[in-house]
Amino acid sequence: MKHTLAPKSRQRVFTWGRLQGKQSIMKKLILVLAAAFAVSAVLAGLSDGEALERAREILSKMTLEEKCRLLYGSGTMTLSCPPGAGEKREWIMSDNSSTVRPEMNRWDWGYTDPKSVNTKLPSLSALAQTWDVELAWRHGETLGLEMRDRGVDQLLGPGVNIMRTPLNGRNWEYLGEDPLLAARMCVPIIKGVQSCDVAATVKHFCLNNQEMARDTVDTHVDSRTFNEIYLPAFRAAVVEAKALCVMTSYNKVDGIWASENKYNQRGILRDRWGFQGMILTDWGGQHSCDFAINNGGGVEMHWGQGIVHLGNPKKSLHPLADAVRAGKVPVANVDEAALRTLFVMAKTGYLTGGKRRTGERNTPRHQRLAREEGADSIVLLKNVKGLLPLDPATLRKVLIIGKNADEKQCHKGCSGEGNVPYEITLRAALAARLPKAEVVLMPFCAKMEIATTDTSNAAIAGGHVEQKTKVDFCSVEELKSAAESADAVIVFTGTELGYQENMESESRDRENFDLPAELQEAMHTILGWKLPGTVVVSRSGTPVGYTWTDKADTLVQSSYLGMEEGNAIVDVLFGQVNPSGRLAQSWPRTYGDTAVAQKGTYNKTNVVYNERFYVGYRWFDRNKVAPLFPFGYGLSYTTFAFGKCSVRETDGGWMLEVPVTNTGKCAGREVVQVYAAYPGAKVERCVKELKGFAKTKQLAPGETQIVKIAIGERDLAYWDDFASRFATDAGDYEFLVGASSVDIRERLAVKVARTKHYRD
């Protein structure tokens, strides 16, 4: 089979800096300037100083009860309209980081009828695998536009919690295991959202790295690990992206609820990072009245009837105002928290009545982005015999094994739920792309009974629970006969969204790392037939335990891709898109290989991060354990060569230049990754750490691009416990340039002349 991309006429058009072929530099410049002008036109709102002045003006005219009403929900997803607000309506919030969730009822978790409909983009776990900051901005802007069309003022996302354990049920809603990757990807998401005059909310602050017992668990971590691994994405969101809102997590941190933790809320957010925006609890995350507000707390949120600590909107009770009158809460603390809420309202134009950006929803442009982003996130893990891309012209019969290939996911996942105008499954996409072929869907040859699962946490979290009691199956003989008569066999495995066993969702963790034993056995059986046209597609938002990957010649990894999932996968399988996704997490061979399993703790009461900063690839490097697939890994239908790299000093850092040449036969994109090593370290350091990355443009065969990556001296810093600051020591360092955390192509030596400490 000839392994080339589809003819140019059948390829998708790439925009926003990915314009292909023979377009002139001038045309590209005009497009970029036009886009920048369009954004700047809607960002002509209030400066921080002007917004604070307007907020203080409104605050000065409010009664105590009116101020307090700004600090608790007026319903499940609303805040009270302050007197004098330009919009003259309640402030409206919406959950999700990949769509706008349907509107909630005021007093419960139910959806209004009819349910509102929005485009659903790929999950953040998928977006992270694109390693494309430009795509992240478009993701955020699209969410912002869809919210503006719905009249929504605040997005409850993005989530940036680090993947500490692959069992975390919300890994699919986050940005992977590495703090720098999460930070670099969340900043453009937030900027994109807020360019539409919508407030973004970075969450969940902090140390919420498991869903199991999240409402009660107490987490403990040393300060260096806290600052180097679990805070950088939050810092980037607040300091660089200027996120307007921060949501606290459910758990305790060193015995104190996150929503009442003065050190984190006031010490880190306000004092260290200068955060001026709104702090709000996760829904049901408030545990007190006066203690919370006196320790840096902000807005209490819950389902409408559950809001009771600071106020009760249904019964018109005012516990916070009563606490002020009783002398338990200084009025200055209420004023400060209310001022922060008004500041956010002013920045978005809600408070002032200023012209806000016009929204749009379910447009062809948004649907194209869902498909493009999904395809760009897919990671080609194995293609040993070059089976991919498939040639559609040779396919008369295609067998799909696995009923999940036709199981819609967009309406699942609790906070990840959406309601879409349509959803294209893998089966539907293949049938549409192959109108003259026979596309057959069959279940696995694995009889499974799914036990009833406790879903009480899901109900508390606002999930709309769906449960399965069994899985359809067929006989081995029947399945083998169908497979032998097919031109291609596509095996669709992995996880799905939901609340049972190994499903992924908010409010619970997966019960096991491994795929269920019955499905593992079925995979061994199917791959044991050694049929030449067999392609395995794995879908999950987190690593899954597979015991059969050595038998698979072809393996494609996808995360949850939203409403265009099927089309995105088929675009890659048929070569209309050359896969350029790279793993945002290390893929362990066994759960026992992970740092949490060997060194840390994972339980329902007290969780100690004993593995310290050895998370993900840092752990595998330190212990010389080979993962199944390493962080940053991914293949292509073409090949790339790195030329001689160079590094030069700049003001406060270095600029690396890496020539990347497409040495294959079809167009494609590569991700250049730069890690730092510390040969002269005076303190304990990891073997290497990601410090920069860049994705090439679409390179034609034979084309070379000089990729430039800037790294500052502060990027090399560690947290100095004695100084309680970040420090970069004088001495020798190395930059490791590669295509993954294990595929290092060149090492460049640099020197830092003198030790520096940084305020933050």
The catalytic residues are 282
Alpha helices in 358-486 (DSSP H): 364-377, 426-433, 456-460, 476-484
DSSP state of 394: G
Residues with Cβ within 8 Å of 138's Cβ and at least 6 positions away in sequence, in order, are 16, 192, 369, 373
Pairing of strands 488-494, 470-471: unpaired
| Residue 238 CA neighbour count, 13 Å, CB half | 24
131 φ, ψ to 5°? 50, 35
Phi, psi of 465 (to 5 degrees): -75, 130
- Inter-residue contact 662 to 640 (CB < 8 Å): yes
Q: What pairs with residue 442 in β-bridges?
A: 401
Peptide bond into 245 cis (omega under 30): no
> Which residues lie below 8 Å from residue 696, measured CB to CB, with a gap of 6+?
660, 669, 670, 671, 672, 705, 707
Three-class SS of 280-298:
ECCCCCCCCCHHHHCCCCC
Residue 474 structure tokens: 């067929």
What kind and span of H or E run contains 238?
Answer: none
User: CB of 537 within 8 A of CB of 493?
Assistant: yes
* Helix pair angle (565-573, 364-377), 10° resolution: 50
Strands of the 756-758 sheet, one edge to the other: 718-720, 725-728, 756-758
Residues in the chain: 760
Q: Which residues contact 475 (CB under 8 A, 6 or more apart)?
A: 445
CB 156 within 8 A of CB 203: yes
The answer to whether 225 touches 612, Cβ cutoff 8 Å, is: yes
